[in-house]
């Protein structure tokens, strides 16, 4: 059994036993234990594929940015051939950080301590006073380069891992990739960032945010209740909006849809587009063809003129999902949230938001909230400007939605430190019972109905699996 091989904490508890598979509970100490945190840096952030940014942040040769891959600082750089590299930001001489900047452009990264120099691909160039050979003769120059992570680009997103011989990126995504392609690989030219990411620090354990990113829809009814009560967000649709606990508008109805779980901890929430077409476009979706649905309400972040690109990049099954139950929010294990959201305007028009968050661990009770805002490269300037403004206001570091979320995570982390609090459990006992809708074309663990706990529970099961696996 897993518990027989699971590592054990100093006081004797097996890590696997923190997650009770039978009752679907997780001990709250998981949100605060420093020993667990150190294990996570090795077993999760040292083994899985981690989002570091987007290649449009470093478009030119020599461009670089400094990010965190787990507990390690890394240099994400582009070399003269256009290849993207992820390098441990630790000089191979005496351990100084090679770059102390956030970003920049250079063909030579020089350590300020002893002047050792490296190319954007991590290759060691040399040290000052070359004739004295201050790097010695014990090791060759090829052996003195910066440590390199394994890198993949997916729809321009830069992922990296220290697990050089581990699963491929496609294996890591598994069945969820079929759905992610609908978001990240839907257009001919792809997407790009609208400026550098926003960042701020939250006094909370990264898992409090990470597990919520696994498609927790239920909290929207209470924590984000104002979405159903104010302005255009409170507009009631023809599908019977309102409902208990939702405030106003169609917020409660938005909790019905399709949710996809993954054994790898990834998750998606798919909304019923028919309600959106009725409320936002004023049309009856039952009378529309696939093409007419896309024309009536293009995917979030796209214009009508861009819709034709979908057929170039998506399969018939993916197009069916896009026009019936498109993915809107979800997560990529372990610490990424994405949102491709329709934002109604006061004048009756719709602006799409394309955003991604990474919850970067900075200690057992501290995380860095990183927010990227995207637009399709073919999106016109006026749409890009509206998308940037709306996304900053809602999902940015000072956004109305994120002010709600970032208030809960510190309270959970503090509660998990208490003598009694750490013995309490997080419960994921609301389970789907219907399964996938009839004729659903996509893969994965698919369920239909009111949002439940399954997606987050699978997140914790994968956490348990990785934390209990041999190193």
- Three-state DSSP class for 461? helix
User: In this predicted model, which residue has the larger pLDDT, 395 or 248?
Assistant: 395
The pLDDT, as a whole number, for residue 102 is 96
**Dist CA 145 CA 85 (whole Å):** 13
Lowest mean pLDDT among 234-243, 250-259, 280-289: 234-243
The pLDDT, as a whole number, for residue 400 is 85
In a domain, 17, yes or no: no
Which residues constitute the domain of residue 91? 50-162
As a whole number, mean pLDDT of residues 110-123 equals 97
The pLDDT, as a whole number, for residue 239 is 44
Query: Do 232 and 142 share a structural domain?
Result: no
Contacts of 200 (CB under 8 A, 6+ apart): 368, 369, 397
In a domain, 347, yes or no: yes
Residue 369 has pLDDT above 80, yes or no: yes
The pLDDT, as a whole number, for residue 221 is 86
As a whole number, mean pLDDT of residues 149-161 equals 98
As a whole number, mean pLDDT of residues 328-332 equals 96
Query: Do 324 and 188 share a structural domain?
Result: yes
Residue 228 has pLDDT above 80, yes or no: no
As a whole number, mean pLDDT of residues 204-232 equals 87
The first and second tokens of residue 252, run together, are 């409660």
Decide if 154 contacts 169 (C-beta within 8 A). Answer: yes
Residue 302 has pLDDT above 50, yes or no: yes
As a whole number, mean pLDDT of residues 167-185 equals 98
The pLDDT, as a whole number, for residue 315 is 97
As a whole number, mean pLDDT of residues 438-455 equals 96
Question: Pick from 449, 10, 119: which is nearest to 255 by CA?
Answer: 449
In a domain, 375, yes or no: yes
The pLDDT, as a whole number, for residue 450 is 93
Residue 58 has pLDDT above 90, yes or no: yes
Single out the residue in 104, 134, 162 at which a domain terminates.
162
Query: Do 232 and 125 share a structural domain?
Result: no
The pLDDT, as a whole number, for residue 130 is 87
Helix ranges (DSSP H) in 248-334: 273-276, 290-296, 310-313, 316-324
Single out the residue in 127, 162, 197 at which a domain terminates.
162
Cα four-point dihedral sign 109, 110, 112, 113: positive
Percent share of the chain, pLDDT over 90 = 81
Query: Do 118 and 79 share a structural domain?
Result: yes
Query: Do 212 and 143 share a structural domain?
Result: no
Query: Do 278 and 138 share a structural domain?
Result: no
**Dist CA 458 CA 332 (whole Å):** 12
Q: Mean of the per-residue pLDDT values for the chain?
A: 92
Count of domains for the chain: 2
User: In this predicted model, which residue has the larger pLDDT, 156 or 232?
Assistant: 156
Lowest mean pLDDT among 63-77, 101-115, 221-235, 237-251: 237-251
* Sheet of strand 19-20, all strands in order from the earlier edge strand to the far edge: 19-20, 25-27, 425-427
Residue whose entry in the numeric block shows the structure tokens 């190319």: 119
Residue 79 has pLDDT above 80, yes or no: yes
Residue 50 has pLDDT above 50, yes or no: yes
Query: Do 185 and 86 share a structural domain?
Result: no
Contacts of 420 (CB under 8 A, 6+ apart): none
The CATH number of whichever domain residue 132 belongs to comes to: 2.102.10.10
The CATH number of whichever domain residue 447 belongs to comes to: 3.90.380.10
Query: Do 179 and 142 share a structural domain?
Result: no
Query: Do 191 and 139 share a structural domain?
Result: no
pTM over 0.75: yes
The pLDDT, as a whole number, for residue 234 is 58
Question: Pick from 251, 232, 239, 352: which is nearest to 286 by CA?
Answer: 239
Lowest mean pLDDT among 99-108, 130-139, 197-206, 207-216: 130-139
The pLDDT, as a whole number, for residue 242 is 38
In a domain, 135, yes or no: yes
DSSP 155-210: TTEEEEES-TTS--HHHHHTTHHHHHHHHHS-SSS-EEESSSPEEEEESS-HHHHH
Single out the residue in 137, 162, 187 at which a domain terminates.
162
Looking only at the bridges linking them, the beta strands covering 157-161 and 150-154 are: antiparallel
The pLDDT, as a whole number, for residue 240 is 41
In a domain, 20, yes or no: no
Peptide bond into 431 cis (omega under 30): no
The pLDDT, as a whole number, for residue 470 is 84
In a domain, 408, yes or no: yes
Query: Do 279 and 151 share a structural domain?
Result: no
Q: What are the CB-based long-range contacts (under 8 Å, 24+) for 61-65? A: 61/107, 61/120, 62/105, 62/106, 62/107, 62/120, 63/103, 63/104, 63/105, 64/99, 64/103, 64/104, 64/105, 64/106, 64/109, 64/120, 65/102, 65/103
Query: Do 456 and 313 share a structural domain?
Result: yes
The pLDDT, as a whole number, for residue 276 is 84
Query: Do 234 and 139 share a structural domain?
Result: no
Question: Pick from 164, 198, 162: which is nearest to 53 by CA?
Answer: 198
């Amino acid at each position: 059994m897993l518990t027989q091989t699971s590592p054990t904490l100093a006081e004797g508890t097996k890590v696997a036993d923190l997650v009770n598979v039978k009752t679907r509970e997780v001990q709250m100490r998981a949100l605060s234990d420093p020993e667990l945190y150190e294990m996570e840096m090795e077993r999760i952030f040292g083994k899985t594929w981690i989002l570091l940014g987007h290649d449009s942040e470093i478009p030119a040769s020599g461009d670089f940015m400094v990010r965190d891959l787990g507990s390690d600082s890394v240099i994400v750089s582009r070399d003269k051939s256009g290849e993207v590299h992820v390098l441990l930001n630790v000089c191979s001489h005496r351990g100084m950080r090679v770059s102390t900047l956030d970003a920049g452009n250079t063909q030579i990264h020089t350590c300020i301590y002893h002047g050792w120099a490296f190319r954007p691909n991590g290759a060691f160039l040399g040290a000052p006073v070359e004739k004295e050979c201050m790097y010695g003769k014990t090791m060759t120059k090829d052996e003195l380069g910066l440590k390199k992570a394994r890198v993949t680009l997916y729809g321009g997103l830069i992922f990296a891992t220290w697990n050089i011989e581990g699963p491929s990126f496609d294996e890591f995504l598994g069945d969820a990739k079929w759905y992610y392609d609908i978001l990240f690989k839907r257009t001919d030219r792809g997407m790009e960032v609208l400026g550098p990411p926003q960042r701020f620090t939250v006094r909370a354990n990264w898992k409090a945010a990470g597990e919520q990113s696994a498609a927790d829809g239920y909290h929207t009814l209470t924590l984000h209740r104002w979405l159903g009560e104010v302005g255009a967000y409170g507009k009631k649709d023809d599908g019977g909006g309102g409902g208990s606990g939702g405030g106003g508008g169609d917020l409660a109805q938005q909790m019905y849809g399709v949710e996809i779980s993954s054994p790898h901890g990834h998750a998606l929430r798919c909304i019923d587009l028919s309600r959106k077409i009725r409320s936002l476009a004023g049309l009856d979706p039952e009378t529309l063809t696939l093409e007419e649905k896309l024309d009536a309400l293009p995917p979030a972040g796209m214009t009508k003129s861009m819709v034709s690109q979908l057929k170039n990049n998506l399969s018939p099954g993916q197009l069916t999902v896009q026009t019936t139950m498109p993915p809107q929010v979800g997560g990529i294990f372990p610490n990424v949230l994405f949102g491709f959201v329709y934002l109604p305007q006061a004048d009756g028009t719709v602006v799409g938001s394309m955003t991604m968050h990474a919850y970067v661990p900075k200690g057992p009770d501290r995380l860095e909230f990183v927010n990227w805002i995207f637009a399709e490269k073919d999106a016109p300037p006026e749409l890009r400007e509206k998308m940037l403004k709306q996304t900053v206001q809602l999902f940015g570091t000072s956004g109305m939605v994120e002010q709600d979320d970032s208030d809960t995570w510190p309270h959970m982390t503090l509660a998990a430190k208490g003598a009694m609090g750490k013995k309490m459990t997080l419960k994921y006992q609301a389970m789907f019972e219907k399964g996938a809708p009839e004729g659903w074309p996509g893969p994965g663990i698919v369920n239909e109905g009111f949002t439940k706990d399954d997606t987050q529970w699978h997140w914790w099961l994968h956490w348990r699996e990785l934390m209990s696996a041999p190193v």
